[in-house]
Amino acid sequence: MRCRIATTLMTKFIIFTDLHMVPDGTTIIGIDPYRRLANGIAHVNRYHADADRVIFAGDLTHHADRASYERLKDLLSELVPPAAVMLGNHDRREVFLEVFREAARDENGFVQQVIDFPDCRAVLLDTLFAPPYDYPMSHAGHLCDRRLAWLDRQLGSAGDRPVLIFMHHPPHASGFAGIDMIRLINEEQFYGLVKRHGNVRHIFAGHVHRTISGSSRGIPFSIFKSPVHQQPMPFDIADASLSVDEPAAYGIAVVTPDGVLVHTEDYEIAKRDAAVA
């Protein structure tokens, strides 16, 4: 007797964050961000060409220079699935938009958008706390009143779709003292809004350069590693600029009828062929 297995359409996201692209010939702690990301894009094209969206969740460049944005744009042209690009604290909105002229933005010019799929609504936020670019303050994340009002409308109009929020800065503590000083600074406003609507199924973030998962205010979250350098594990160091050379990674999120599955792929060391005992 043959059994038929019903298949359900499930939206798949690939998430890269903290790309830190640099000009040609430049490295970060001896690592070439271009080569690492190129390897990641080739890996996605080979194994996840069916992804519904590849989201690049901020810190697209290291110094927010035009040459780095142009390098990144050329590299993203090699990607098979469609891409969506966000900003982080290492970016400059106006320089980014000079190169990525077609990038989605809201009515106020913030680089944020809504993408609807049959089984979910993806909301991509612009948490860049600038201009002015006053460091270190602008390394923290912020959602101004206009961006919060925009988010309020997107959550309110989602209908029956569960919502996935993508943002560069985590809206809560990560456990790393240095990074937590530059997380989203108005997290209470953010969570108050999100909890009022009650339709956010998962929050995705970057910024920390470390794989972290858990929940905050009852909402599950996932934070992903970088394809370049990672955050070392000591929790109590009040320095947000520490970096170590650990395997590059991207995230995989799949929407299911009753939730979200989240994986991390350390793509440069991943083994696809199973060993037989």
How confident is the model over 257-275, as a mean pLDDT?
87
Q: Are 126 and 87 in contact (CB under 8 A)?
A: yes
At residue 5, what are phi and psi to the nearest 5 degrees? Answer: -100, 120
Output helix, strand, coil percentages for the chain, rounded to the nearest 5.
25, 25, 55
Give the architecture-level CATH label for domain 12-265. 4-Layer Sandwich (3.60)
pLDDT band at 274 (very low <50, low <70, confident <90, very high): low
Q: What tokens were used for 244?
A: 């170590």
147-185 pLDDT per residue, tens? 999 999 999 999 999 999 999 999 999 888 888 888 999
Q: Residue 216: CA atoms inside 13 Å, Cβ hemisphere, count?
A: 21
Pairing of strands 200-205, 212-216: unpaired
Q: What is the pLDDT of residues 104-117, one digit of tens each?
A: 999 999 999 999 99
Distances (CA, A) of 203 to 4, 9, 69, 85, 183: 35, 21, 26, 17, 14
Number of Cα atoms under 13 Å in the Cβ half of residue 246: 16
Burial-class residue 206 by CB neighbours within 10 Å (0-12, 13-18, 19+): buried
Q: Give 247-264 pLDDT, tens digit per residue.
A: 999 999 999 999 999 999
Q: Where are the domains of the chain?
A: 12-265
* pLDDT at residue 6, rounded to an integer: 42
**Confidence at residue 273, expressed as pLDDT on a 0 to 100 scale:** 67
The pLDDT value recorded for residue 228 is 93
φ, ψ for residue 86, nearest 5 deg:
-120, 170
238: its two tokens = 């009040």
